[in-house]
Structure 1
Amino acid sequence: MTAIPVVIKSLFVAYDAYCKKCEMNEGYKMTQIPVFPKVMENTESFKVMAGSNGDRMLGLTLDNESNSRVCYESLEFIRKWLKGWFVSYDEMLAQLEEPFPENTIAVSFGAKSFQIGNSCAEFYENKRTQGSFSYQKISPNVMVTYFNKDDINFLAGFTYFPVLRDAARCFGNDRAALYMAIPSIESFPLRDRAKTIELNKAYGRYCSVAKKRVVVEAKGKYPMHLEYDALYGTFSYIMCEECLVDSVTYKWKDPSEADSSVEIAQKLQELADNGTGTVEVFHTRGSLSSSEKRIVDLKEFLEANPSFNVHSKHALIAKIVLGEEFKDRIGGEPVEQAEPTEVAKVAPEPTEVAKTKAMCGCGMATDSKKETLTKQKDSSITEFSDSEASEASEDSKEAPAEFDSDVDAVIVN
């Protein structure tokens, strides 16, 4: 009777191992939040181990001692592996001489340039560089934390979840996953691939053919993928045309030698984020004086004043801050309109009928009459011009030009 439960248990462990290995071969999804095993619900405390310089290098997530169900061999597996990881840190090696507590349910350790945070799988970059984090399992019991910056997934650290009793061990798969992950994932900060090849004779890159990050061995004549089959526990080399072309065309560009235009754009964006810096706007319907507006207020101002555009000399700043939404409102300069001049109007020439009547009624005009008529004509023209000019002046006073009050208001930095 006692043999039956043992057989059933063995079959369950074998099936569990098969499922985990198949899942590893298929690959795991990357997530924005860490996915923990159910045992993490019983977390009671978090213990940090620091190096001689105070860097937080190792974190242990602990369960209640009375509820401990962790496999001792699993704790020993990761402790011995970590002795190789921290081989250059005497302080850490001394702490790793002692076995981990039996109620350890997770072990987190950071990559170079990263330290342990305040909880499981939490890391931060030494210089507090801004970026985001994502997470991905790479084996049945190992999860990677990525630091994402400039569209690159950098290695921030690992978290190992010790196997529970009566579950499949998969130690070989975990060891292979760690061995493959370290060279395949980019280290922060980004470094020249040639130096990595010189040191490790291998490098990592994302291969669109394999649809994942791969280890590219550079020992032989041609670079090849190093692949691992979790089901059979074997390594193999795969020739890849994409990685072969990449190995020939690859050129290292030092990020410190950034394009000057990129640096300018970054500085302008910093001004906008900090609420400093101004841009000039102008009225598109006339020669109204332009005004400077704070970068942080620009979007709101343009929405409230559709007749204003951003001056062409500040077009770059506006494009960075506003994007495509206001692209039709960026550029151009105010058009100076000439002021209207007052022109006297001349009376129309008399018609032929009027001339005939004048000749018939009065005969040929004498010189004195001509002179009198000329003076009367000039006088009427002058009176007419003066009245027209006066009316134009009154019209300009009665109808002042439209004026947006906002253009005159300067927002103080």
Structure 2
Amino acid sequence: MPEQSPLEPAEGDPFGPHNLPYGVFSPAAEPDRRRVGVRIGDHVLDAGAAARALGSPYVALLDRPSLNPLMAAGRTAWRDVRRALTAWVTVPAHRPDIEPLLHPLGSVTLHLPYEVADYVDFYASEHHATNVGRIFRPDGEALTPNWKHLPIGYHGRAGTVVVSGTEVTRPSGQRKGPADPAPVFGPSTKLDIEAEVAFVVGTPSARGRGVELASFRDHVFGLSLLNDWSARDIQAWEYVPLGPFLGKSFATSVSAWVTPLEALDAARVAPPARSTGLLPYLDDADEEEPGGFDLRISVALNGEVISEPPFSTMYWTAAQQLTHMTVNGASLRTGDVFASGTVSGAAREQRGCLLELTWNGTEPLELGAGKRTFLEDGDVVTLTAWAPGPDGTRVGLGEVTGRVLPG
């Protein structure tokens, strides 16, 4: 029996030809050379080499050490390149040229696939915002008065966005408990994670002109999983009155793989019903395309699943976030990343961070290794996800993993 081709992943593989996420890798033989790759099953296709071998006009976009040139090329190029890649990995006549350019996934080094320009993080889950409000304002309103009128966000630190697999050192900073007479300095004792989804901007926009809801696909290249590491004790002391700063800026982990929006067409869903009227620039009631995504996320701590947050419950959509982010005239740049904020559902097992899962440490998780509240040194956190694909398939999102090092 002939050996099965790597271009024929097993039935049900979430990284089949219906997916084809983009990344940047270095092969074992050339560790210092970065190349654009496309994942197919448990292999990585050298996309630039494939373009050269087949005489493709897309060599200039794919034979690069970063996704930025392809991302900047715009929506028509994204569509055409994806169609070409799909043909390269599915048409039998291309196999003699393509198969030698495949690398086993375990043999390559994966890199941050794009140069991050700016980073914005939102606060788009009503369940998460409500839980946090109840934790910190038990005698007041859970949601702030503005929450259902606009997508709340903050501008993060682009320089500390790191690729999955990068170890994260426990941050140090000032912290002060409610009963402490004065702040102290030292490593965070409430290190947390936040399960999020990142949207990566390809096409830039002009300064002074906002991006309308209907133009979302013209600017966003794709999405990936994101872990917004958070030092809750540092954050609690510093964030009034301006917002997250050192409690967030030490590290943000993103997947090594960017899933094109086109691969997720079957996963588009309507967002939850709005309970408050929206200003016209955010009103998506008449948009032709549903604004939500049915992404099923799983959060594991040291290999044990602790939460399964559903992205379909997010109150604010990525299109609304993009529009609000630019409505004041702020321009987009290729490589901008904006994140959804913590993804949480209605049930306890759907909460997307330890702050919620343990109710700020007062309700420890019962795990196989014992009771846990916040992260300990040596812990490994892994986010995975999948979405419904065409014809009953699943579209896998590249994982995000990170291990905590002592401060």
TM-score normalized by structure 2?
Answer: 0.23
Could you say which structure has the greater relative contact order, defined with CA pairs below 8 angstroms and 6 or more residues apart? 2
Counting strand residues as a fraction of each chain, which structure ranks higher?
Answer: 2
**Largest Rg, 1 or 2:** 1
TM-score normalized by structure 1?
Answer: 0.23
